[in-house]
Amino acid sequence: MQQTEQSQKEVILTQNPALKERKLRLRWLLAISSLPLFGIITAFGIAPQTSTQDIAISTIIEDIALPEISTPLVSENLESENYWQADQVRRDDTLSSLMARLNVQNNEALEFLRRNAEASALASQLRPGRAIQAQVNGNGELLKLQYQLSPTSTLTVERTDSGYQAKTGEPTFEIHNVLKTAEIRSSLFAATDAADIPDSIAIQMAEIFSSDIDFHSDLRKGDRFVVIYEAKYNNGNLVNTGQVLAAEFTNQGKTYKAIMYRNPEGKVAYYTPEGKSLHKSFLRSPLEFTRISSGFTMGRFHPILQKMRAHKGVDLAAPIGTRIKAPADGVVQFVGVKGGYGNVIYLQHSNGVTTVYGHLSRFAPGLRNGMKVSQGDIIGNVGMTGMATGPHLHYEFLLNGIHRDPLKVALPAAQPLAPQYRDAFLTHSANLSAQLQLLSASNVASLD
């Protein structure tokens, strides 16, 4: 039976050569595909038994020619080699440990730093984080030392032909322009804090734009500003900030710009980019920054007298001790105590204007009747003397004896830019305006 089936297969293959050839190919493919498997099995069968003891190991030694050194690595005259080393005072530093870290090794210098009246300030004022740098020679002899006693004072010790000498003076500051931008979310100070802008810059901006923006009530969420200001650095550390050089403030969709210009005579003023003065003969507010607790009205229920009474001024809430500035040049008409005002000051200005400041905690030292004051001078401090329920400044503005709302009365403009300075100003303004525009554009792009 099996022979018969085999015979029939052979007859079929003989009669169909193509089928025979296909079957032959399949057998070859099966054989070839099995080779890697056999190789793997062979490898696994051989690898663990492979001998590694018969591998030959040899040592090769070669001669390498070294270059000749023409000069010695260590100078023969160590005193001619000077080195500067900078460091900072650490919390547990003493004078000895600090000098050791600066490689100061001569006793003469150490004794001078301990005994000299001016140099001894170093040992008595070792404050963690303050910068110090020393110049020594190869023998560890101190040649020069500089130490930051305070942000505005530097001690310098230097070796001279007659011995060591010490002096204290102002450091040489590096002044850089800082460009910042921010958006109002709740208040001006919250925005400047979020952008790491000092409060002094926020106060300056409030003063610069005070004639156009009431920072007590006009700010809205989404307002934004760009500011360029000076920053002073000492050894890479920020010491303080200077004046605002330029600023742009967008309030309720309207944009205001200011450019600072210092004329050849040294007078500083702020102008629009076209040269129009932003200064007024009167400051809008005698306080740097505050809020209105009670406005100007002809009928207000007095909290102490318990009856309706005209409130012919504005109450500016502020902490006790807040400084009060003269809003314009004037003469002290009265300084002292008067009825419900408590401690009060009357200032007489030009063009029939009188201003009144009530409830003060104290007056500026030396302030007296008949004394002249200039715009921005400190005349007193906020308090709650007289009839006051809390600390605030009561501020009145009288024009020819008639009370006017200090926050709404029209303020005359100051002197315009002098014609002889106009060309220099426009060149200066174009540079700062371009920086403001660039920063403002980048801020809008980031908000989008």
- Quote the pLDDT of residue 228: 95
- Quote the pLDDT of residue 70: 57
Q: What per-residue string of b and e applies to 388-427 under the rule 16 or more CB within 10 Å gives b?
A: beebbbbbbbbeeeebbebbeeebeebeebeeebeeebbe
The identity of residue 264, as a single letter, is: P
User: What backbone phi and psi angles, to 5 degrees, belong to 214?
Assistant: -90, 105
Q: What per-residue string of b and e applies to 113-151 under the rule 16 or more CB within 10 Å gives b?
A: beebeebbbbeeebeeebbbbbbbbeebbbbebbbbbee
**Separation between Cα atoms, residue 261 and residue 267, nearest integer Å:** 8
Q: What is the pTM of this model?
A: 0.51
- Quote the pLDDT of residue 345: 96
- Quote the pLDDT of residue 226: 94
Q: Supply angle C-alpha 439, 442, 446, rounded to 5.
A: 140
Tokens representing 231 are 């920053």
**Separation between Cα atoms, residue 393 and residue 361, nearest integer Å:** 10
Tens-level pLDDT at each residue, the chain (448 residues): 444 445 555 544 455 555 556 555 656 555 555 545 444 444 444 445 555 556 677 777 777 777 665 555 444 554 557 888 888 899 888 999 999 999 999 999 999 999 998 888 888 888 888 888 899 998 889 999 988 887 778 899 999 999 999 999 877 777 889 999 999 998 888 999 999 999 889 989 988 887 788 777 788 999 999 999 998 877 667 777 889 999 999 999 999 999 999 988 888 889 999 998 887 777 778 886 555 545 445 544 445 544 545 667 888 888 899 999 998 889 999 999 998 899 999 999 988 899 999 999 999 999 999 999 988 899 999 999 988 888 889 999 998 888 888 877 877 667 778 889 999 999 999 999 999 988 877 665 444 4
Terminal Cα distance for the chain, rounded? 90
Helices (H), 217-268: none
**Separation between Cα atoms, residue 326 and residue 323, nearest integer Å:** 10
- Quote the pLDDT of residue 30: 53
**Separation between Cα atoms, residue 286 and residue 298, nearest integer Å:** 22
- Say which residues have a Cβ less than 8 Å from residue 166's Cβ, sequence separation at least 6: 112, 116, 118, 119, 155, 156, 157
The identity of residue 435, as a single letter, is: Q
- Quote the pLDDT of residue 310: 60
Which stretch of DSSP H or E encloses residue 111? helix 107-115
User: What backbone phi and psi angles, to 5 degrees, belong to 86?
Assistant: -110, 145
User: In the chain, helix, strand, coil percent, each to 5?
Assistant: 25, 35, 40
- Quote the pLDDT of residue 47: 47
- Quote the pLDDT of residue 34: 53
